[in-house]
């Protein structure tokens, strides 16, 4: 099996002005004018947009709703889910009004001196089919809403005021999930000398690493004759490590090899980052300067050994993430992304798969900093459609261009350890699909020879027969746990990746009886049981994947579907209304952990002890009825007590996958009071305990912010968990009180979410019902420092308030 050496992160630090003053990067975030609708003359400079809405970018205009079952209603048989007959799907794309055309307009000023330079307009994501106009002239267009792209607008710029107009079109039947709508990622203006380093023109790799030294290879493309390049490497403290000057190009690029002594290696546990400052001189004049942050690490994929990072065999403890951020929609926000990753880190997660699209640059930057390995995916469709107006329309013309941009824009992130060229593509059947898989993989190899390529395959039998699976660098299996052994024997790579696993469904705080394993189970309230025993016809519960991960050294890890609930795909209720978001998440749409969080944490987080009891213990009307109690823990055994009476000791065993990973007392009968679990060591000695209690009447509200101090930048967020408790402070798990939110001071109310997949309340309005006794409020800073006060009230409950601080 080919060994893939490390590739390091090169990204352009987005600052207002670079240290050398030779390159200016301006984020175009404020003062955008926005309007939904098709306006024939909106690209013209003198078009009147004063009555349009003023927004900031990133911006998702569809997240503001309303929810409507008629939006993008699809009559379809979802082949990926094993369906053969078409049926009406009402919440597949989130039931939010993302279909249609919208325009954005902005004005920016360029000085006469800047007009003489090279000007680049960079879009990091525009949903979708963007057409770009500057000063009344069409600059260009792109197709894929998830792609990064840029245009050289030097010839379109005028000294003084310039008018930028962007037309975006979301067609119906174009997505399988909520895609968002608008300029949902950053837009930037890059002004530099004509003799300069190319956009995404720096590539950093480490072809040799030892304990004593590492060779850092830096390839740089730059324009201008008779120039030379000086690259200096700095450590994480800003101390100079080494430097190199080169005057001769090899082909069309400079090639430098710089030694780093006693290198500190990047890993999830120690995400150490260096930076390289590349300075491009023509004559004696500094013409350009680019800062590249990178990490030093080595990756290998080997037959019968699996994946190793820096010489250590390890497995991917990963999750899949869609790109929406719950109540924020798809608009990128660093605080929201950081919160997601912080929650996942606590669970013990070490890897992320972007599903099924190109990730935001902010997400990759955070994964570099926080220590997550990354599977960067490109497409959900190739030439054969899953939905009528999907990427299939653009594949032939754009696939290579989109991959090139993906690789060039992100190739230097140390977090990225493999690429994916597709997910469950219908092209898995037949010779044409094999040719496409080979073609796409070769593009990735040409642009980045340091990382392998996978595809998430659900038609495993077909890919065994056609050669599709055999040609991939990494065979990725989506579910199909019963085919792992056969695939391992037939595929030549010597290992298997669980590229998408589990798809267990649950609703936070909701429990159903009797407690049995079930597929496609539905209930009148359109919720799923949090006993974590329910899955879809094509998927499975977590324990079945755990067995493969633990017992098969050739299984190199898994990416669970999904880390968080997301908008759209409300399986198993995608034919029911109201139901508009997924049930797959380990955490709900508000980012609150479901019980499954603790099941994964008990396996993945080795630095902490986990002891979690489910269900809650408020079951009025179930007195005397069997109410099983599960405990998720990394202890091997425990004793359960109900109101002081022992229910016996349970010990993990191999009789079933569930018995191997969970402690289960199946015969407990409900009586109000206290449930206590006492964890035991190997000698039977008590080493930890946990209790839950029956709550009384809802009495008051409790607020718990994830951060009490945020940045006064107009973007930062504090996520405040709202809990309803009784007079003793015991959480009320069935509370559904209507909450009211008020923010005063140097902040604003941004959104709220309760995690209920059936809720039709709008996120941006300052009221929402609690779900299973909780909700989350997002408080956003202003650009002025000071105190922010959030007050949460509900009829019949004691009001709560919390003071936050925003600082410069």
Does the CA dihedral 365-370-373-377 come out positive or negative? Answer: negative
Q: What is the 3-state secondary structure (H, E, C) of 286-352?
A: EEEEEEEEECECCEEEECCCEEEECCEECCEEEEEECCCCHHHCCCCCHHHHHHHHHHHHHHCCCEE
Q: Give the C-alpha separation, 480 to 460, whole Å.
A: 8
Q: Give the C-alpha separation, 587 to 591, whole Å.
A: 5
Three-class SS of residue 113? Answer: helix
Interacting residues of 329 by C-beta distance below 8 A, sequence separation 6+: 60, 62, 63, 96, 178, 180, 184, 567
378 burial (CB, 10 Å; 0-12 / 13-18 / 19+) is buried
The angle subtended at Cα 485 by Cα 481 and Cα 489, nearest 5°, is 140
Write out the two tokens for 559: 């990416």
Active site (annotated) includes residue 114: no
Three-class SS of residue 719? Answer: strand
Q: Write down the residue that tokens 């099924």 correspond to.
A: 356
- State the angle between helix axes of 334-347 and 361-370 in degrees (0 to 180), rounded to the nearest 10: 40
Nearest alpha carbon to residue 284 among 226, 235, 340, 333: 226
179 burial (CB, 10 Å; 0-12 / 13-18 / 19+) is buried
Q: Give the C-alpha separation, 767 to 752, whole Å.
A: 8
Q: Give the C-alpha separation, 183 to 521, whole Å.
A: 38
Strands (E), 479-536: 496-502, 518-519, 534-535
- In this structure, the strands spanning 87-89 and 74-76 are antiparallel
For 674, what's the count of Cα atoms within 13 Å in the CB-facing half-sphere? Answer: 11
Write out the two tokens for 149: 């792209």
- In this structure, the strands spanning 555-561 and 316-321 are parallel
Q: Write down the residue that tokens 């980052």 correspond to.
A: 273
Active site (annotated) includes residue 424: yes
Q: What is the arrangement of strands in the sheet containing 686-693, beginning at the earlier edge strand?
A: 645-651, 637-642, 674-680, 686-693
Interacting residues of 237 by C-beta distance below 8 A, sequence separation 6+: none
Instruction: Point out the catalytic residue in the list 129, 365, 500, 639.
Output: 500
Write out the two tokens for 394: 């653009």
Q: Write down the residue that tokens 């013409």 correspond to.
A: 287
334 burial (CB, 10 Å; 0-12 / 13-18 / 19+) is middle
Three-class SS of residue 537? Answer: coil
Instruction: Point out the catalytic residue in the list 124, 362, 381, 424.
Output: 424
Nearest alpha carbon to residue 518 among 547, 539, 544: 539
Measure Cα distances from 715 to 324, 505, 579, 718 in Å.
Answer: 17, 33, 30, 10
The angle subtended at Cα 442 by Cα 441 and Cα 448, nearest 5°, is 90
CB atoms within 10 A of CB 233: 22
Which amino acids are annotated catalytic? 424, 500
């Amino acid at each position: 099996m080919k060994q893939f050496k490390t590739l390091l992160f090169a990204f352009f630090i987005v600052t207002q002005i670079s240290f050398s003053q030779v390159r200016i990067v301006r984020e175009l975030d404020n003062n955008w004018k926005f309007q939904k609708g098709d306006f024939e003359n909106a690209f013209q400079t003198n078009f009147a947009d004063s009555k349009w809405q003023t927004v900031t970018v990133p911006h998702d205009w569809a997240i503001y709703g309303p929810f409507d079952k008629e939006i993008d209603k699809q009559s379809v048989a979802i082949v990926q889910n094993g369906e053969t007959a078409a049926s009406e799907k009402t919440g597949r794309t989130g039931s939010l009004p993302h279909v249609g055309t919208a325009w954005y307009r902005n004005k920016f000023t360029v000085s006469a001196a800047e007009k003489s330079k090279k000007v680049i307009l960079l879009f990091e994501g525009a949903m979708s089919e963007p057409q770009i106009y500057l000063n009344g002239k069409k600059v260009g267009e792109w197709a894929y809403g998830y792609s990064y792209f840029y245009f050289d607008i030097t010839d379109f710029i005028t000294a003084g005021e310039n008018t930028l107009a962007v037309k975006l079109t979301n067609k119906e039947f174009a997505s399988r999930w909520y895609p968002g709508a608008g300029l949902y990622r950053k837009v930037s203006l890059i002004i530099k000398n004509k003799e300069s380093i190319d956009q995404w023109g720096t590539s950093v790799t480490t072809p040799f690493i030892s304990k004593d030294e590492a060779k850092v290879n830096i390839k740089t493309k730059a324009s201008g004759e008779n120039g030379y390049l000086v690259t200096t490497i700095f450590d994480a403290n800003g101390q100079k490590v080494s430097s190199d000057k080169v005057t001769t190009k090899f082909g069309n690029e400079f090639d430098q090899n710089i030694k780093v002594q006693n290198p500190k290696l990047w890993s999830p546990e120690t995400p150490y980052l260096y930076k390289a400052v590349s300075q491009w001189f023509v004559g004696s004049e500094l013409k350009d300067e680019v800062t590249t942050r990178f990490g030093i690490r080595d990756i290998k994929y080997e037959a019968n050994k699996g994946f190793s990072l820096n010489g250590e065999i390890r497995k991917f403890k990963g999750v899949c993430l869609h790109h929406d951020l719950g109540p924020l929609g798809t608009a990128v926000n660093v605080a929201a992304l950081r919160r997601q990753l912080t929650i996942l880190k606590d669970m013990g997660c070490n890897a992320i798969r972007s599903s099924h699209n190109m990730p935001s640059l902010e997400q990759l930057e955070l994964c570099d900093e926080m220590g997550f390995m990354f599977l960067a995916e490109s497409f959900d469709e190739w030439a054969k459609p899953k939905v009528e107006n999907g990427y299939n329309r653009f594949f032939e013309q754009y696939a290579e261009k989109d991959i090139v941009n993906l690789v060039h824009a992100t190739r230097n992130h140390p977090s990225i350890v493999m690429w994916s060229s597709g997910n469950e593509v219908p092209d898995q059947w037949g010779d044409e699909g094999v040719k496409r898989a080979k073609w796409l993989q070769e593009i990735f190899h040409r642009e980045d020879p340091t990382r392998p390529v996978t595809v998430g395959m659900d038609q495993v039998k077909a890919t065994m027969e056609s050669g599709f699976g055999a040609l991939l660098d990494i065979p990725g299996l989506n579910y199909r746990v019963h085919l792992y052994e056969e695939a391992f024997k037939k595929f030549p790579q010597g290992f298997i990746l669980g590229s998408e696993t589990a798809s267990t469904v649950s609703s936070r705080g909701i429990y159903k009886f009797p407690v049995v394993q079930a597929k496609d189970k539905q209930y009148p309230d359109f919720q799923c049981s949090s006993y974590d025993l329910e899955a879809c016809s094509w998927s499975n519960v977590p324990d079945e994947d755990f067995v493969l991960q633990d017992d098969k050294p050739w299984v190199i890890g898994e990416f669970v579907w999904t880390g968080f609930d997301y908008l759209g795909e409300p399986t198993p209720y995608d034919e029911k209304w109201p139901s508009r978001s997924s049930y797959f998440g380990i955490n709900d749409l508000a980012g609150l952990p479901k019980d499954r969080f603790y099941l994964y944490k008990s396996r993945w987080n080795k630095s902490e002890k986990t002891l979690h009891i489910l269900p809650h213990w408020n079951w009025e009307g179930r007195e005397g009825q069997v109410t099983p109690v599960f405990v998720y823990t990394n202890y091997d055994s425990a004793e359960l007590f109900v109101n002081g009476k022992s229910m016996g000791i349970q010990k993990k065993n191999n009789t079933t996958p569930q018995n191997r990973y969970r402690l289960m007392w199946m015969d407990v009968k409900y009586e109000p009071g206290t449930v206590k679990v006492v964890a035991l060591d190997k000698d039977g000695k008590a080493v930890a305990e946990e209790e839950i209690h029956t709550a009384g009447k809802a009495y008051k509200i409790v607020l718990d912010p994830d951060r009490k101090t945020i940045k006064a930048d107009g973007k930062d967020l504090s996520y405040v968990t709202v809990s309803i408790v009784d007079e003793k402070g015991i959480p009320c798990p069935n509370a559904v009180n209507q909450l009211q939110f008020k923010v005063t001071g140097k902040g604003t109310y941004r959104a709220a979410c309760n995690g209920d997949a059936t809720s039709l309340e709008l996120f941006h309005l300052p009221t929402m019902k609690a779900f299973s006794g909780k909700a989350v409020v997002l408080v956003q800073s202003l650009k002025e420092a000071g105190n922010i006060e959030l007050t949460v009230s509900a009829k019949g409950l004691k009001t709560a308030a919390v003071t936050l601080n925003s600082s410069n």
